[in-house]
Amino acid sequence: MYIIYSNFTPLYLLFNLIIFPPLAKPLIIVLLLLSAVAYYTMKNLGIIIDSSMIRNMLESNTREALNQVTRPVILHLLTVKTLVAETECAKLDIFL
């Protein structure tokens, strides 16, 4: 039973932060941008993001991370930000 609670505790805390109004908009923006980067990586590079991939990402340095930021990634993020973030936040009555 403890395993079930420990698996859902981070989600519970995350959703409680989204409900808190001063943190809602920044947290939603960060989550949407992170999901856009993950989608772009999986779609265009054909990789699957799992726990080892996240561990490698957290262990990389700034130079390695900046090598992955290219013009198509930036264009994809801007597209996702303007199309998805604006519509989703408008549904939630949160204006960017």
pTM over 0.75: no
Radius of gyration of the chain measured on its C-alpha atoms: 16
Write out pLDDT tens, residues 49-75: 888 888 888 888 888 878 888 888 888
pLDDT < 70 stretches in the chain? 1-7, 18, 84-96
Comparing CA positions, the residue from 96, 74, 73, 69 lying closest to residue 85 is 96
Distance separating alpha carbons of residues 82 and 20, to the nearest angstrom: 24
| pLDDT score for 4 | 58
pLDDT of residue 89: 61
Alpha carbon dihedral 16, 53, 72, 29, in 10-degree steps, equals 10
